[in-house]
Structure 1
């Protein structure tokens, strides 16, 4: 679902080609991005093209990315990968530096074609957020929370987001760390305090208000609602319905996380379900539902 939100489509393989530029560090499911500079029908053709690259004595490193099977293209063994890296590196007008290069370039072959470009490696920022000052066992994992934030605001420039049932701020931390303009709110003052402390713990800045969703007065482009659960809170089905109805008042798009199937509530509130998936945490499953 995150892939569909970012790119408008998904693929069953471990490689996706797109003209849409996404920072791989945003997603817990992306390993790296290759910004293609040259492509060729053969290794020899690609090597000739790489000769055009003049780094003006800037340092660089070349990495062959065929370390695993890429789609239907088989893995290339270590000796052959080193040979590819050396041959491409010798064609570049610059200073090779294997330890501290200014730029890392990637080269790979897939589906019979060869590609060369700047390599952008993902940083697992979400892993750093796993240990918060305030936590509880039923909160979303940081990995899922980050994906949910991306599903809500895949292209966040100019997008205003609210999490009106934010709990301890798991989604808020992930969203704020990616530069998403998000505000939090929760009816429980103690939970709000924990959320604020979690945000501050990671050096982030964000607003978290105390109060029910009924007190939201501004309009937002999208709301993220991790629905309070009957198993863990004293909330009725009618109260869940009211939450969705209130959200319809101030936003035209919501991403709902729920342990129950609440399609009837979503429809009664005036939303249409446009996508959904299942997120699992051990034996515990949640639905992630996108509605407009």
Structure 2
């Protein structure tokens, strides 16, 4: 049985993303952790690593030390009895290129640590995966939970169109909008075919979707049912929305199916201000003036680029 210090659990989150995703990943990190980093974040916040498209895994810290040998000595306390284990050196760390540890040495570190754990090693299908990683001049060891790329399962939908958000972007936007889902009421009032709805529901975040276009609402409902989620999408203009929500996620309509004029764009933002305390908006245009005019303050922002050359970009703005 492996347990952390129940009073002060700590975690190391490992990150990986493409260069074109720097801005979006940083925005999500700031929302989830209040800080950003290239590859590792240490935090007391417990977040399922599968929530983020950028998190590779979460190390639940059990031991720290100045050297591998110090860790090796501490793991002698672990007794797994009937459970099997594997030790993995985490290649995502903060070592500079001239400090990188090569393959043979990584395997030697794994063997040294594993040798001192009382239990049966299983390299293929262990009951417990342990990780060891250097970070900020110290070594960290603990149980390692790898992220599952849940959003990849949602790529192929019964209903889709080319200008819809990617599932990866939609998942990051949900995290930016709802870093802590407990007790939060969320609405997507321009839900389209439901890409944001599906990602939110897959994270057990209760969300209501609506759109004034009955054809896309029909598609959203089909997509939700296809993935066996329980969610609501209705035909409704945001101007007719009477409920109040903690946050609204608005992917501003811009394509041929849901074209919005400047006046309609402002109307959407104005009603988002009326029904929600916070808004995360995605737009291909500069809407700062509209957002401020509607009574929001822009508290953070980022850019979601499509492709390394950023041939197509969406602005992501957090407004309160």
* TM > 0.5: yes
The CA deviation string for residues 185-219 of structure 1, in whole angstroms up to 9 with x for no partner, is 01011110100111111111100111101121111
Residue in 1 aligned with 2:33? 7
Report the secondary structure of 1:249's partner residue. Answer: helix
**Greater CA deviation, 115-124 or 231-240?**
231-240
Residue in 2 aligned with 1:281? 306
Report the secondary structure of 2:35's partner residue. Answer: coil
Residue in 1 aligned with 2:51? 26
**Greater CA deviation, 99-108 or 229-238?**
229-238
Distance 1:3 1:194 in 2: 31
Residue in 2 aligned with 1:241? 266
2:237 pairs, out of 212, 235, 238, with 212
1:48 pairs, out of 62, 65, 73, with 73
TM-score by length of 2: 0.87
Residue in 1 aligned with 2:159? 134
Report the secondary structure of 1:253's partner residue. Answer: strand
On the 8 A contact 2:40/2:93 being kept in 1, the answer is no
Report the secondary structure of 1:143's partner residue. Answer: helix
After TM superposition, give the deviation of residue 220 of structure 1 in Å.
0.7
After TM superposition, give the deviation of residue 233 of structure 1 in Å.
3.7
Residue in 1 aligned with 2:177? 152
Residue in 1 aligned with 2:10? none
1:111 pairs, out of 127, 132, 136, with 136
On the 8 A contact 2:190/2:252 being kept in 1, the answer is yes
Runs of 4+ residues deviating >4 angstroms? none
Q: Say if 2:96 is the partner of 1:72.
A: yes
On the 8 A contact 1:15/1:71 being kept in 2, the answer is no
Structure 1 unaligned segments of length 5 or more: list them.
none
Report the secondary structure of 2:140's partner residue. Answer: strand
Report the secondary structure of 2:41's partner residue. Answer: coil
Report the secondary structure of 2:245's partner residue. Answer: coil
TM-score by length of 1: 0.95
Cα 1:86–1:68 change in 2 (3 A) is: same
Query: In angstroms, what is the RMSD of aligned CA positions?
Result: 1.5
Distance 2:184 2:93 in 1: 37
Q: Say if 2:207 is the partner of 1:182.
A: yes
After TM superposition, give the deviation of residue 55 of structure 1 in Å.
1.7
On the 8 A contact 2:304/2:316 being kept in 1, the answer is yes
Report the secondary structure of 1:17's partner residue. Answer: strand
On the 8 A contact 1:60/1:96 being kept in 2, the answer is yes
After TM superposition, give the deviation of residue 71 of structure 1 in Å.
4.5
1:200 pairs, out of 225, 230, 243, with 225
Distance 1:266 1:106 in 2: 45
Q: Give the count of matched residue pairs.
A: 290
Residue in 1 aligned with 2:86? 61
